[in-house]
Amino acid sequence: MRLGIIGGSGAAAFLAGGETVAVPAGPWGETSGPVRQLAIAGHDVLLMSRHGEAGAQAIAPHAVNYRANIWAFRELGVDHLLGINTVGGISASATSGALVLPDQLIDYSWGREHSYCGKAGRALQHVEFSTPFCTRLRSRLLGAARRAGIELQPGGTYGVTQGPRLETAAEIDRMERDGCDLVGMTAMPEAGLARELDLSYAICCVVVNRAAGRTPSGVAIHAEIASNLQAGLGKAERLVRELLAGG
Ligand code: HPA
């Protein structure tokens, strides 16, 4: 497995260290930033921060160049891609601080460059997408969580909103009726693009807040996010290390 990791909000320093590798120029423009390579348990792992490097102006979810990012990983020989995504929790089990491995998604985002088809000589493809996340990578992550004693919720539906604003309570009510357990802003078009390039893709979600209308009374959403982010990302880091140690 040659693993690539796309770190999410607050994760610019995820698995810190390593060396910067040159990103090959591609037909899709600039990536969110450089790619770092580091060795973990004898594997070379490549990392990029989805919203740009620490210290730089953060790239909003709708402005991320998802096509360039995923393409760069493919060009660098990555065959498995793991996204680390901070999300809001909609279903009762998606409590702040929880780690969740979704198995489905619903895309509410719009206007994003979401396909490679028809450009740069790429033919039209209607990729199969009934299972948007790689089942094998998901079971390996669940195995790693079991071995490391990390609680990882084994499924859920991720609803992708456009952002960058958070949702209204009524929007979250509608998403809940649709069957969404989690809300975030970045799993699409990332998952679809990874599928078009035939990469095994999954995401590990860190619930950093309860979604709009579900926040504990008296807790400001941004304070809730800040208090859950680092601990959640720490668990996700341990999960990645165990995944790689396991083969
Ligand atoms: N909504 C959308 N995206 C998010 C949230 C949220 O509540 N929390 C973290 N990412």
Check: pTM over 0.75? Answer yes or no. yes
22: tokens are 């040159």
> Given this model, what pLDDT does residue 101 score?
98
Atom 3 of ligand 1: nearest residue by CA position: 184
Mean pLDDT throughout 87-102?
97
**Rounded average pLDDT over 148-161:** 98
Distance, CA of 162 to CA of 61 (rounded, Å): 7
pLDDT at 12 over 80: no
What was the pLDDT predicted at 9?
80
**Looking up tokens 């998604």, which residue turns up?**
105
Burial of 193 (0-12, 13-18, 19+ CB in 10 A): buried
The answer, yes or no, to whether residue 55 has pLDDT greater than 80, is no
Query: For the chain, what is the mean pLDDT?
Result: 94
Domains and CATH numbers, the chain: 3-245 (3.40.50.1580)
Would you tell me how many other CB atoms lie within 10 Å of the CB of residue 17?
11
Q: Which pLDDT band, with edges at 50, 70 and 90, does 247 fall under?
A: low
pLDDT at 114: 97
Helices (H), the chain: 66-75, 135-148, 169-178, 187-196, 221-245
> Is residue 85 lining ligand 1, measured as CB closer than 6 Å?
no
Res 84: pLDDT: 96
List phi, psi (to 5°) of 236. -65, -35
CB of 184 within 6 A of ligand 1: the answer is: yes
In the reported structure, the alpha carbon of residue 184 is separated from the centroid of ligand 1 by a whole-number distance in angstroms of: 5
Measured from the CB, is residue 167 less than 6 Å from ligand 1?
Answer: yes
